[in-house]
Amino acid sequence: MQEQYRTVAREGVYETEINRSRFLCALAPAATEEEAQAFVARIRKEHPTATHNCFAYVIGADASVQKASDDGEPGGTAGVPMLQMLMRREVRYAVAVVTRYYGGVKLGAGGLIRAYGGVVGEALDALGTRTRQRFRIVTVTVDVQRAGKLENELRSAGRTVREVRYGERATIEVGLPDADVPAFRAWLADVTAGTAGFEAGGEAYGDV
């Protein structure tokens, strides 16, 4: 598995004009291919009179799903450069739709490649990206009266507290880099005088 990847910080639209053509790049995070396709369909519905609605998306931390469409532009001049920009920026779980309103000046193949790839790059800069890191999920169980103090200590130590649940005992779910697990286990035993339960679980990605 990838140790980390970048994704789009938020959904948004970036607009620019190149040789009198309007280019609008809509970006969004997408957890699945279905989400990406639904976003593409939504943008197309919002711009039914546009000359082209080209798209590219990358799903999977390892970029296992990659799709692109030129939507009527000359082959390889729109969707592929958009996809290449997402890949070059190491952006995953993201979808980009570039809507073009033709302004009467032809850009040529090279101009189109620069325009479509460039507007995705500019949109990423404008909207921002966030990095997601692979974590091992560990579950800590402690006495309820000790839980609040332990949660505070975890947060002040910069640990990623994912969830806290209260029952007969308190359960605190923490995300840790794999390499930190042994040291964390020793630290936990020390601060709780060995009274805390510890269980290492599966893996997930979380914000760095």
Instruction: Quote the CA–CA distance of 37 and 24 in Å, as a whole number.
Output: 18
Closest to 87 in 3D by CA, of 76, 77, 79: 79
Residue 206 pLDDT exceeds 80: no
For residue 188, CA distances in Å to 3, 68, 195 come to: 25, 48, 9
Residue 162 pLDDT exceeds 90: no
- Mode of pairing for the β-strands spanning 21-29 and 12-18: antiparallel
Tokens of 7: 């994704």
- Is the same domain home to 136 and 123? no
- Is the same domain home to 169 and 136? yes
Provide the CATH number for the domain around residue 45. 3.30.230.30
List, for residues 87-102, the tens digit of each pLDDT value: 999 999 999 999 999 9
- pLDDT computed for residue 4 by the predictor: 80
- Is the same domain home to 119 and 138? no
Residue 3 pLDDT exceeds 80: no
- Is the same domain home to 111 and 136? no
pTM of the model: 0.75
- Is the same domain home to 174 and 108? no
- Is the same domain home to 112 and 138? no
Sheet with 21-29, strands from edge to edge, namely 12-18, 21-29, 94-101, 52-59, 65-69
Range of the domain at 62: 4-127
Provide the CATH number for the domain around residue 179. 3.30.70.240
Quote the number of domains for the chain.
Answer: 2
Say which range, 53-57, 167-171, 173-177, has the weakest mean pLDDT.
Answer: 173-177
* Rounded mean pLDDT, 154-182: 88
List, for residues 14-27, the tens digit of each pLDDT value: 999 999 999 999 99
CA dihedral in degrees (60, 2, 208, 29; nearest 10)?
-10
- Is the same domain home to 202 and 177? yes
